[in-house]
Amino acid sequence: MKLSDKVTISAQVMARVVGDETVILDLASGTYYGLDMVGARMWQLMTEGQTLAQVCETMLAEYEVSSEDIERDVLALVQTLLEKQLVSADV
Amino acid sequence: MSVSLQTLGARPQAPLSQKPFHQWTFPNGTEWTLFYRLNSGYLLRFPDLADFEVSRDGRIAAVWPAPGVSPGTVEHLHLNQVLPLALSRQGRLVLHASAVEIDGKGVAFTGESGRGKSTLAASFATTGSRFLTDDGLQLDWLDGQCRITPSHPSVRLWEDSQDALIPQAVDLAPAVEYTTKARLLAGDAMVFCDQSQPLRRVYFLGEGVGQSLIIEAVQPAEALMQLVRNSFLLDIEEKELLAWHFDEMVRLAELPIYYRLDYPRCYEDLPHVRGAIIRHVLDEES
């Protein structure tokens, strides 16, 4: 994945905001996943159709972290979501 | 809503050509329940005990006991295993939880088997409170309020809990073949609440390895996962039902009523445990 890419949420995925977190259910496998507050915000931005670069830019404005850390964390989250087939790459 | 059960003649459990889509096993690997799909609904097979067929909508069930299995065993299986699953097909929310009524408030205890759900229910019901269920907790929303619907007026206990908690005046249901748990019937000595109560607390029971009693608030996302883990749901592969169930769990999890409860498991300490729970339930209402 490149920062200029976007992701598309898989059709069988349900995501709900619960408190400060987001809980995801993969209907295909019946598996549940949890995203903490930071991950939930990244997920929300990705699902709004932003490129990964735009997600990083928004996160940088909201959190006091370096751009290298944000890029690493966003790409790591995307990689996990791809492996679990919760999203697909929209290159 | 209820489940209409028809008991048919005893019949041997013929091998099935299809594989079960799901199964429950005991910790030692022995099969407990095998789940099969039928054109009309589901077959729940309890090996060497009984075959239950449940309609797709969960409203009708039929049972064929295995030869030599007692009616008491069939009733026990129906009440504790099949009924909660059938109700889930009706769109009912059913949890692996016991519940008691404390000062007009419904208080639920949930957790893995053996954590003490039934012991707590019996402990309260024999000391001035009333119990609503010992398992298969049914929840319904009414005018925006989540309420506990009472279940069967009985509590199942292992012998040690029975000896420690239950006065001799309590009646027993007939023994069953597959468990040494006794089913104790409600009465004056162990009081049942037959009216729905508002759900005010859900306690997730810990393992009891600590040295003291703790009660800690549980955040909504963790509560959601605990509720999912402790729900009855027949056919988790059916996406429409699974999606509905998820949204219902989210709605439940948003209530500010979830706590982790743990305490050393010692019968002599139960009055202290009950007192702490009662104070906790009543404190935030004042």
Shortest CA gap B126–chain A (Å)? 38
Size of interface A-B (CB pairs under 8 A): 41
Q: Scanning every residue of chain A, which has its alpha carbon at the shortest distance from the alpha carbon of B225?
A: A32
**A32-65 pLDDT, tens per residue?**
999 999 999 999 999 999 999 999 999 999 999 9
Asked if residue B42 has pLDDT above 90, the reply is yes
Any B CB within 8 A of A21 CB: yes
| Span B132-143, average pLDDT | 96
Tell me what ipTM this predicted complex has.
0.90
User: What's residue B258's pLDDT?
Assistant: 98
Domain end call among B41, B68, B90: B90
| Span B23-47, average pLDDT | 93
Any B CB within 8 A of A12 CB: yes
Q: How many separate domains does chain B show?
A: 2
Paired strand residues for B172: B184
B100 and B85 within one domain: no
| Span B70-90, average pLDDT | 93
User: Binning pLDDT at 50, 70 and 90, where does residue B166 land?
Assistant: confident
Binary contact (A27, B239; C-beta < 8 A): yes
If contacts are CB pairs under 8 Å, which of residues 233-262 in chain B contact chain A?
236-237, 239, 242-243, 246-247, 250, 253-254
B249, two tokens? 């769990």
B183 and B55 within one domain: no
In whole angstroms, how far apart are CA B43 and each of B18, B70, B95, B175? 11, 20, 21, 25
Instruction: Give the structural domain span for B232.
Output: 94-282
**Mutating which of B237, B246, B249 best tests the A interface, going by the most A Cβ atoms within 10 A?**
B246
Instruction: Give chain A positions within 8 Å (CB) of B234.
Output: none
State the helix-helix crossing angle for B239-253 and B220-229, rounded to 10 degrees.
140
B267 and B150 within one domain: yes
B251 and B152 within one domain: yes
Paired strand residues for B102: B105
- Report whether B81 contacts B93 (CB < 8 A): no
- Report whether A7 contacts A50 (CB < 8 A): no
User: Binning pLDDT at 50, 70 and 90, where does residue B176 land?
Assistant: confident
Domain end call among B90, B125, B146: B90
- Report whether A88 contacts A8 (CB < 8 A): yes
Domain end call among B57, B90, B123: B90
B177-187 burial, b at 16+ Cβ within 10 Å, e below that, comes to: eeeebbbbebe
